[in-house]
Structure 1
Amino acid sequence: MEEGMLLLEGSGDGVERLTWRVLGEEVKKVGYLAGPMVVVTLSQYLLQMISMMMVGHIGELALSSTAIATSICGVTGFSLLLGMACGLETLCGQAYGAKQYRKVGTHTYSCIVSLILVCVPISIVWVYMEKLLTLMHQDPLISHEAGKYAVWLIPALFAYAALQSMQRYLQSQSLIIVMLLSSTAALCFHVPVCWLLVFKSGLGNVGAALSIGLSYWLNLIFLAIYIKYSSSCEPTRVTLSKEAFTGMGQFFRLALPSTVMICLEWWSFELLVLLSGILPNPQLETSVLSICLTTIAFLYTIPFGIGAAASTRVSNELGAGKPQAARMAVCAAMAIAITEAAIVSAALFASRHIWGYAYSNEKEVIDYVTGMAALISIEVIMDSLQGVMSGIARGCGWQHLGAYVNLGAFYLVGIPVAVVLGFVLQVRGRGLWIGIMTGATVQTTMLAIITCCTNWQKQAIKARERICSDEYKANECY
């Protein structure tokens, strides 16, 4: 036994010292969840990326309109639904750990109903996308095409709402293989269907939007069939009842800060692209920053998947009343995150001279991207650490703290620093990126402090209180 190790419950005297072997076992548990979750996240990200790549071969108008529509639809729609669904990680994960299986199904229905209701006003905004873009003084042709794309993307919005809810339901129970199979199947379906609808049907960029919707619905149907008929879901399978509607209040109390936490960070990067458009030589600056952000978004699927695994392990252990086991899960997840950050950032920096060719053949763009490689590699490290710690925050129910951290880090520090460096000190695109990287560093530091200073015993008590229904007294839940 080694001194200074964590303590775990379970021995004859109530505690058992954590050895490297025990930590290794927890790393395996987190890794078993993280690997498939990375693939699931990556598969869903590739749906829109592949659609954009195919549309890019139609023409400049199709590509620019699709890019604008995708950005605005992400900000006003998909980011909101993703953020709200992440609130389910706390509720379902802790309820499953406490063996309150009926609550897992009820919370999921509350999430589905809530997200579908939110889709209605979002759809109205998307219907008027063309007029909104025109009011923002965008090119009329681009506004028209972007408006059509957004309207045809509305079916995907409703499928995405239910899909995210079901994925959190399965994730909380560590049923991740079915999500892996369904998401990869949907991606394999998407590639030929998108090609047919974009190039052979005459629909053009509208066909790309339609193919995304079809792929989301196919993924959703796969998961719905599995949940309905699989014996693995039998303990948590419930019918839609009044409890799902009365539970919407509890869901929104976690979903709203969860949405703010995710959207504040998402929107800050979108704002970075807008700011690059008013720099001198905006075509070069916007192209380079778009390449950097696309790369970061692609690589972020890895820590997001690890964070989802950490959220599941932490929420399950807190729900089961095992605070030290939850702390061990945090240690294991952070060990994986640090390893992943080192490998990915080093690989990215090593490939800095050829990385830009994946996006452009222009020497000026490639040289600029090569010069940004060191900054991007540092951002990869920050994203890897904060992505996992954000998952831990969701597992604990710290979404409100995450919202405050992101507000301060990006909008009180990151964006102002970016504006000063980019425009006042004339560092331009590099200055904008250094500013957002400064915000990410503050965010990561604050999340690390919160994680390290956490009283896990108190978190377990809060989890049990959250799980207890109104009809139970608090002490009956222990």
Structure 2
Amino acid sequence: MEASKDEMSQPLLEAETVPPLPPQSTEDKYYQYSAQLESVLSDTDLPWARRLSRASWIELKLLFRLAAPAAAVYLINYVMSMFTQIFSGHLGNLELAAASLGNNGIQTFAYVDKILYSEVQAELKPLPTTSSIMALAGAKVVAFLRFQEKGVRKWKMIIFCKSCHTQPSLSAGKFFSQRMGTESHGETHKFPLGMGSAVETLCGQAYGAHKYEMLGIYLQRSTILLTLTGILVTFIYIFCKPILILLGETERIASAAALFTYGLIPQIFAYALNFPISKFLQSQSIVAPSAYISTATIGFHLLLSWLVIYKLGFGLLGAALVLSLSWWVIVIGQFIYIVKSERCKETWTGFSMQAFHGLWGFFKLSAASAVMLCLEAWYFQVLVLLAGLLPDPEIALDSLAICIQILGWVFMISVGFNAAASVRVGNELGAGHPKAAAFSVIMVTSMSAVIALICAIAVLALRHVISYVFTEGEVVANAVSEMCPLLAVTLVLNGIQPVLSGVAVGCGWQAFVAYVNVGCYYVVGIPLGALLGIHFNLGAKGIWSGMIGGTLMQTIILLWVTYRTDWNKEVETALKRLNKWDDIKEPLLKD
């Protein structure tokens, strides 16, 4: 827009020559706030401090109406899956192990092409015990644990699962059949989530540009793509039994896990609809209805699980089918809201054959995000695998598991800000508000970082007692206490990095972030963790330090790129993307 400007950066509060677009409707309060924000930031007649205070107040109102309900939805959906695992655990040890494998192990293999499994003969050494790893209550990680069988020491793949709560000092064999786990949506869904990322970018930008009808087209297009992806994932579920046997599981456990996994197949396709529907609503700043629907579904899920599992005696298969049904209840509830709500009457105009056009462009934008998410998920898996190679893997894995659990719960907050960042940036770019987009990035990143800093301080203050929530073992508790300073640093970084990833999705930078993840995680983080943890004998602290190194580099790169972004050019790019797809694939929206 202004040729004299540095093409790589834009002063935040400099006057804008293009006046903000007026809102289309007095009822559209969100757009009114958005246009007002751009106007305030462009008003050079106001003192700088007054502009900043007014803009901050407007942005905070827009931000928290998105972030808080979004975080609540993620948390509620996590708890629903956790309850399924708890119900399964009360059926018996076999059912507990089967549900854990089905809900965690198979969902991990759904995006991992190969998992190394080897049996290594070696001299006999004392068998390590698994103290309350136990406590895992939330860390779903994969590790190799030494165990002895008939005089041979082997490496066995152990999948440590969420909400695990077994007794201390279980032998490796007992632990494997007694651990409890849950996964909110499972690692299976990392790839489908990424494949649906285009709807997050395009719906946000289209809504900001007032191309309301296109939101419904993008919703249907993303659903088609995710459904096709779900069909591919289904084959992994179908053949889960031979996969588990190949990885060393007994016929008995593999059969029970397969039974549970078969009941999760409908969940795949529920998720294929839920993700684009959620993003369709979020892009319009409609988040509270999803939270209400999820909350109501929890009660339905608990009652039906108790009835089907215990009273009707359907056991594992019933538990899995109820979980799948609960997800379908959420999907149907949200879709009914879309069809019936006055707030969606302009964005949902019915089913259209035009949804089948432009799928390749949708795929290219989404595939990069799928890679981005998978690389992040695999990063933690590989680091925990490294912990299994340490001289004392038991304590290392226990302490890592508890730290990852704490990190996971705090991460729920960042997920809410991630969603808010994606929506806010996408909306402002689509609306042609470069200053509002830039200011939104600053505010959402700052707020998330401040909250993460508070959580980090709390962890440091409670470092000597926090681990006893997860374990009764003093050795593990001391190890966690020593890890807490590193955990605090990670909490702060995780208050920033997910938000910047949300900004990237809002701008459509998924491919760039995928390359950044490869370099930072796999060229820096993992080698550094292996070097510090294994070569320099720093143990779990060394591995975690390597993770911090990779995440820190990633955060610095994303911060720098975001700081140097020309938001005027991003507005032009967003409008070109929307106009290209509108002009070629769909008729222009009527006034």
What amino acid does structure 2 have at the position aligned with 1:323?
P
Residue 69 of structure 1 corresponds to which residue in structure 2?
Answer: 102
Moved more, 337-346 or 364-373: 364-373
Q: Which residue of 2 aligns with 1:265?
A: 376
Aligned ranges 1:55-454 → 2 under 5 Å: 55-75=88-108, 76=110, 77-454=188-565
1:87-119 CA distance string (max 9 Å, x none): 211110001111111111001000011101111
Match of 2:410, as an amino acid?
Answer: L
Which residue number corresponds to residue 49 of structure 1? Answer: 82
In structure 2, do the counterparts of structure 1 residues 38 and 412 end up closer, same or farther at CA, with 3 Å as the change threshold? same
C-alpha separation between the residues in 1 aligned to 2:292 and 2:40? 44
Contact 1:414 1:437 in 2 (8 A): yes
> 1:302/1:82 Cα in 2 relative to 1: closer, same or farther (>3 Å)?
same
Amino acid across the alignment from 2:70: M
Per-residue deviation, 1:439: 1.3
CA distance in 2, matches of 1:298, 1:13: 37
Instruction: Give the Cα separation in 1 of the matches to 2:279 and 2:528.
Output: 36
Which has the larger displacement, 323-332 or 425-434? 425-434
- Pair 29,444 (structure 1): closer, same or farther in 2 beyond 3 Å: same
SS at match of 1:71: helix
The CA deviation at 1:56 is 4.1
User: Taking structure 1 as reference, are residues 24 and 470 closer, same or farther at Cα in structure 2, changes over 3 Å only?
Assistant: closer
- In structure 1, how many angstroms separate the alpha carbons of the residues matched to 2:524 and 2:101? 27
- How far, CA to CA, are the matches of 1:401 and 1:145 in structure 2? 42
Deviates more, 1:151-160 or 1:453-462: 151-160
Q: Partners in 1 of 2:189 and 2:495 — Cα distance?
A: 22
Greater share of helix? 1
| Deviation (angstroms), 1:443 | 1.4
Distance change >3 Å, CA 207–CA 268, structure 1 → 2: farther
Matched residues in 2 for 1:220 and 1:209: separation? 17
Deviation at 1:472, TM superposition (A): 3.7
Q: 1:64 to 1:414 in 2, by over 3 A?
A: farther
C-alpha distance 115-325 of structure 1, shift in aligned 2 (>3 A):
same
User: Does the Cα contact within 8 Å between 1:107 and 1:247 map onto a contact in 2?
Assistant: no
Equivalent position SS for 1:7: coil
Structure 1 position 39, deviation (Å): 0.3
Q: Structure 2: which 5+ residue stretches go unaligned? A: 1-10, 21-38, 45-50, 111-187
CA distance in 2, matches of 1:64, 1:143: 9
Q: Is the 8 A contact 1:85 1:168 kept in 2?
A: no
Matches of 2:434 and 2:303 in 1, distance apart?
48
Preserved contact between residue 308 and residue 314 of structure 2 (Cα < 8 Å): yes
SS across alignment from 1:461:
helix
1:183 CA displacement? 1.6
CA contact (8 A) 2:273 2:331 kept: yes
| Structure 2: distance between partners of 1:190 and 1:212 | 7
Structure 2: which amino acid aligns with 1:15? S
The alignment partner of 1:175 has SS state of coil
1:456 equivalenced with 2:456 (yes/no): no
1:21 matched to 2:54? The reply is yes
Larger radius of gyration: 2
- State the alpha-carbon separation in 2 of the partners of residues 239 and 277 from structure 1: 53
2: CA distance between counterparts of 1:43 and 1:16? 42
Structure 2: how far apart are the matches of 1:27 and 1:129?
Answer: 47
- Give the aligned residue type for 2:291: L
CA distance 1:296–1:56, change in 2 (3 Å): farther
The 1-side partners of 2:252 and 2:391 are apart by 25
Aligned partners of 1:360 and 1:366 also within 8 Å? yes
**Most deviating of 226-235 and 137-146:** 137-146
**Contact persistence 2:41–2:436 (CA under 8 A):** no
SS of the counterpart of 2:464? helix
Unmatched tracts of structure 1, length 5 or more: none
Shift of 1:73: 4.3
Report the Cα distance in structure 2 between the residues aligned to 1:187 and 1:7, rounded to whole angstroms. 48
| Offset, 1:257 | 0.7
Displacement after TM superposition at 1:167 (Å): 0.2
The RMSD of aligned alpha carbons is 2.4
Partner of 1:7: 14
CA distance 1:80–1:434, shift in 2 (3 Å): same
Instruction: Give the secondary-structure state (helix, strand or coil) at the position aligned to 2:43.
Output: strand
1:35 aligns with 2:68: yes
**Displacement of 1:247:** 2.5
Give the Cα separation in 2 of the matches to 1:32 and 1:440.
Answer: 29
Distance 1:366 1:203, change over 3 A: farther
Structure 1 residue 266 displacement after superposition: 1.0
1:156-202 residue CA offsets vs partner (Å, 9 max, x unmatched)? 11111101110000001111111111122222333343344455554
In structure 2, C-alpha distance between the alignment counterparts of 1:346 and 1:196, rounded to whole Å: 44
CA distance change for structure 1 residues 204 and 369 in 2, over 3 Å: closer, same or farther?
farther
CA contact (8 A) 2:12 2:435 kept: no
CA distance in 2, matches of 1:5, 1:186: 43
Q: Give the Å deviation of 1:28.
A: 1.9
1:470 is displaced (CA, Å) by 5.2
> Are the aligned partners of 1:27 and 1:336 in contact in 2 as well (CA < 8 Å)?
no
More displaced 10-residue stretch of structure 1: 10-19 or 107-116:
10-19
CA distance in 1, matches of 2:65, 2:84: 30
Q: Name the amino acid aligned to 1:16.
A: D
Change (3 A) 1:275 1:197: farther
Closer, same or farther: CA 262–305 of 1 in aligned 2, 3 Å: same
